[in-house]
Amino acid sequence: MNVALLGTGLLGQAVAERLHATGHTLSAYNRSVEKTRALRQQGIHIAATAAEAMSTADVVILMLADAAAIRALLFDSPTHRAIHGRTIIQMGTIGPAESSSIQEEVTRLGGRYLEAPVLGSIAEAKAGTLLIMVGGTPEHFARWTPLLQALGSDVRLVGPVGNAAVMKLALNQLIAAEMAAFSLSLGLIRQAGVNADEFMAVLRKSALYAPMFDKKLSRLEKRNYVQPNFSTRHLLKDVELTLAAAETAHLAPGGLPGVRSLLLDTIAMGLGEADYSAIYERVDPAEGGGLNG
């Protein structure tokens, strides 16, 4: 299948590599050429413009940072003319109202739209084991499931456009909340001089345990946040989208505004592009201020 992929950041590059490895003909585009060099070296065609990438594609996959980036790229001339007759699959994390608005514009331009945000990161994308939540019609879901199954081990239709976007926010806010809570727990343990291995041994046997704790434990112990799978800056964006969605739904946000404040402070420490577990530096700052960001 001929696929255009717009956006080759951390996850976008991994998705491109997986599609290429599974036999799809790929044309990729990214505004920063630097982020396409590794893909070019693997024999993937790198287009000079988004319109060029889309010109021979059956389907267009968006792996862009946010709704503003999508609109700036997709609906700019001449790119918007390439939408006609094509399906746009939006795989990033955006708000439900944003997704519905983009669907309306794509439809007006003669295209079809599917939202398919993912849970998982670089390793899962390369292995084809992402969890993919789809918002769209059953017909569009059936048409594009084989393509999405190249990327995901669990591809499921959540409902119409907007529903998958909500589900992704509901999951991502747990990432933020759990990371903040785990950072506080580990900080308490460290400050009191309690053995962290003993703490983890008890935690792993309890209903409180989440696999993410072990996944991030080494980063926190070493205060090493380089080579992120998901950055602090992007997690803040998702938290703010969740807060907006909660306000629209008339839901109390609980402790999420506090987590947002921690993320803002972490970014102010120069750790916006570091792995999101760098929130630990705000919760339990290192003596002497030495960080590996």
What size, in residues, is the chain?
293
Tell me, yes or no, whether 84 and 229 share the same domain: no
Longest dimension (CA), the chain: 63
User: What total number of domains does the chain contain?
Assistant: 2
Tell me, yes or no, whether 56 and 18 share the same domain: yes
- Alpha helices, H only, the chain: 10-21, 37-41, 50-54, 67-74, 96-108, 122-127, 138-148, 163-192, 196-204, 211-222, 232-248, 256-266, 279-283
Residue 189 structure tokens: 């343990």
Whether residue 88 has pLDDT greater than 70: yes
Tell me, yes or no, whether 220 and 99 share the same domain: no
- pLDDT per residue over 179-200, tens digit each? 999 999 999 999 999 999 999 9
Residue 17 structure tokens: 């590599």
What is the domain-level CATH number for residue 27?
3.40.50.720
Tell me, yes or no, whether 141 and 255 share the same domain: no
Tell me, yes or no, whether 201 and 110 share the same domain: no
Q: Which residues contact 163 (CB under 8 A, 6 or more apart)?
A: 96, 135
Beta bridge partners of 118: 132
- pLDDT per residue over 11-45, tens digit each? 999 999 999 999 999 999 999 888 899 999 999 99
Closest alpha carbon to 227 in 272, 269, 273: 273
- pLDDT per residue over 137-160, tens digit each? 999 999 999 999 999 999 999 999
Residue 275, classed as helix, strand or coil, is strand
Tell me, yes or no, whether 143 and 196 share the same domain: no
- The pLDDT score that the predictor gives to residue 237 is 97
Phi, psi of 131 (to 5 degrees): -95, 120
Tell me, yes or no, whether 112 and 186 share the same domain: no
What is the C-alpha separation between 34 and 13, in angstroms, rounded? 12
Q: Pick from 124, 159, 194: which residue ends a domain?
A: 159
Whether residue 292 has pLDDT greater than 60: no
Q: Pick from 142, 159, 176: which residue ends a domain?
A: 159
Residue 64, classed as helix, strand or coil, is coil
What is the C-alpha separation between 139 and 145, in angstroms, rounded? 10
CA 140 to mean position of chain CA atoms? 22
- The pLDDT score that the predictor gives to residue 291 is 47
Q: Pick from 126, 159, 192: which residue ends a domain?
A: 159
Closest alpha carbon to 102 in 143, 132, 157, 60: 60
Residue 285, classed as helix, strand or coil, is coil
Q: What is the residue-averaged pLDDT of the chain?
A: 95
Please tell me whether the overall predicted TM-score, pTM, comes out greater than 0.75 for this model: yes
Tell me, yes or no, whether 129 and 174 share the same domain: no
Domain carrying residue 46: 2-159
Closest alpha carbon to 149 in 134, 163, 136: 134
Q: Which residues contact 18 (CB under 8 A, 6 or more apart)?
A: 125, 126, 127, 128, 150, 151
What is the domain-level CATH number for residue 230?
1.10.1040.10
Q: Which amino acid is at 47?
A: A
- Under DSSP, the state recorded for 271 is I
